[in-house]
Amino acid sequence: MRKGFLVFLGVLLALSSFSFSAFATQQESTASPQSFLVVFKSDSSLPSNYESIIEKAGGKVTYEVSEIGTVEATTSNPTAFIKSLVKNTQVASLAPALEVSLDLPEVDASDVEQGDVAPVPADESIWEAGWQWDIERVTNQGASHEISSGSKDVVVGIIDSGIDFDHPDLKNNIVPGSKTFVPGTTDAWDFNSHGTHVAGTIGANGRIKGIAPEVGLRSYRVFGATGGAQQIWITDAIIAAANDGVDVINMSLGGTRVIGQWYYTDPATGEKIRLGNDAADMVAYNRAIRYATNKGVTVVASAGNDGQDLSNPAKLADWYNATLDASPSTAMYDVQGAAFKVPAQTPGVITVSALGGGFGTEDRLAFYSNYGNGNIDVSAPGGDLGPDYNGTRVPGDYKWLVLSAVPTYLNSPTGVAMFGTQGYGWKGGTSMASPQVAGVAAAYIAKVYEETGKKPSPSQVQTHLQQTAEDAGKNGYDPIFGHGVINAYNAVK
């Protein structure tokens, strides 16, 4: 199944004119003009002369995150820029600034038949009609809602493509303070659909239900309408969310980074140049996550949709180099060392694999999900295309995906056909699994806070979620399911 999915890595499956973005390959390419992430040796500030250091190397600072001593800079002479900075005693290392993207082709709804599924009238509950197999699975048919459905005293920061703030199932849970980190934008509205879908899984409260339907939601937008984000925007959003006092961060995003070295080969001379001892991009993520957890933030991230075994970092590095070589915009770079998915495998992050299932079928690893012994903490429903999927779409297969909110101002004809109105749609991916866990974390934190007046630490939250997960696969820890399938009812009862 995983081999079959690799054929589709560049293809996004969809059922309507909005996209099934979680099936998107999060592709990476160098920014234009040539950009680099520069990490200074101080992990909590920038040196007073950081701009002159960059300028003397032939570059220009384009973005900075002072709390973790990191800047992004552009240059028209990469060779001279790298050689200058790796000699500077205040610079720890460099890395190419790689853009994380969501590939979003669309498929007309008429291309897929509805199959043997019945529509729900516009004035009736979609939740009660049994469409949300994933939320039913995690909440024990909604039983956890009766114990703890979250509260506005607990806020989940969603680092994603934004949120539809007027969505009827979300608007009452939006708390003030949403921000955008996408240059050229002024607000955190969602024109992609990915972030709204994630928000619905965490805290929808209307025709559909989320894991924690009373929780506070705040958007930290790092993706534009077409899905592009620079890593430094993401790390900046992590810092901002932590400074804003969120309790949980959800990141349904990711890329591949390396503990080791980046190398740049000058296209004109063939000279191979090392960019420093420690890969700057990995250092920046480590610093940002540590900053957040030190402020009491529980960080949850998706394991990724590459179908890779994360327990084999050397093999992952080979795969990553092959990916870099395949694109003219990144072929001048290669890595040496152990490759990891970030932010998923960053210390301090709860890493989530994706399950298929629902409608009376057994739990199974979704065919696209990353996995790996010691690298998956817990698993959660992410959706797939049914237990018999063999690479061919069949009528009604979208019911096996995850149903959630999508922006009401984006066209979703399949959602309209099934539910009589815009604002609902299906996606599948580890992007959909991560918010299940973020929602459980929020419900648990709210329960503890209500009972004790104190909030548990990130390590306490992670330990509790792992201990209360429902064992699946082989007994005990499993490379597919981690410590088990996340279970909200067990976590809050």
40 and 104 part of one domain:
no
209 strand-pairing partners: 205
Confidence of residue 113 (pLDDT cuts 50, 70, 90): low
264 and 373 part of one domain:
yes
216 and 301 part of one domain:
yes
Residue 3: CB atoms within 10 Å = 9
Residue 211: the pLDDT is 98
76 and 58 part of one domain:
yes
Residue 246: the pLDDT is 98
Residue 485: the pLDDT is 97
320 and 204 part of one domain:
yes
pLDDT of 64 higher than 70: yes
What is the average pLDDT score of the chain?
88
**Is the model's pTM score more than 0.85?**
yes
pLDDT of 359 higher than 70: yes
**What are the residue numbers of the active site?**
160, 194, 431
pLDDT of 472 higher than 80: yes
104 and 83 part of one domain:
no
- Indicate the number of domains in the chain: 2
Confidence of residue 153 (pLDDT cuts 50, 70, 90): very high
pLDDT of 224 higher than 70: yes
Q: Among 62, 96, 130, give the residue marking a domain's end.
A: 96
91 and 106 part of one domain:
no
Identity (one letter) of the amino acid at 393? R
Residue 101: the pLDDT is 61
Q: pLDDT for 257-268, tens place per residue?
A: 778 889 999 999
Confidence of residue 225 (pLDDT cuts 50, 70, 90): confident
Q: pLDDT for 364-416, tens place per residue?
A: 999 999 999 999 999 999 999 889 988 888 888 888 999 999 999 998 888 88
110 and 66 part of one domain:
no
Confidence of residue 256 (pLDDT cuts 50, 70, 90): confident
Q: Which of these, 83, 81, 84, 75, lies nearest to 30 by C-alpha position?
A: 75
Phi, psi of 273 (to 5 degrees): -125, 130
Percent of the chain whose predicted confidence (pLDDT) is above 90: 70
Residue identified by tokens 């309790």 is 247
152 and 271 part of one domain:
yes
Residue 319: the pLDDT is 87
117 and 242 part of one domain:
yes
Q: pLDDT for 168-203, tens place per residue?
A: 999 999 999 999 999 999 999 999 999 999 999 999
Query: Parallel, antiparallel, or unpaired for β 98-102 and 272-274?
Result: unpaired
Query: What average pLDDT does the segment 333-358 reach?
Result: 90
The better pLDDT of the pair 447, 98 is held by 447
Residue 393: the pLDDT is 81
* Secondary structure of 4-15 as H, E, C letters: HHHHCCCCCCCC
Confidence of residue 474 (pLDDT cuts 50, 70, 90): confident
pLDDT of 449 higher than 50: yes
pLDDT of 479 higher than 70: yes
pLDDT of 325 higher than 70: yes
Confidence of residue 116 (pLDDT cuts 50, 70, 90): low
Q: Among 96, 118, 138, give the residue marking a domain's end.
A: 96
Helix (H, G, I), strand (E, B) or coil at 85: helix
Do 478 and 472 form a contact (C-beta atoms < 8 A)? yes
203 and 59 part of one domain:
no
Helix (H, G, I), strand (E, B) or coil at 274: strand
Q: pLDDT for 268-309, tens place per residue?
A: 999 999 998 778 888 999 999 999 999 999 999 999 988 889
Q: pLDDT for 1-41, tens place per residue?
A: 343 333 333 323 322 223 333 333 334 444 447 899 999 99
| Domain that includes residue 38, residue range | 32-96
53 and 143 part of one domain:
no
- Which helix (H) or strand (E) segment holds residue 356: the answer is strand 349-358
> CATH number of the domain that 68 lies in?
3.30.70.80
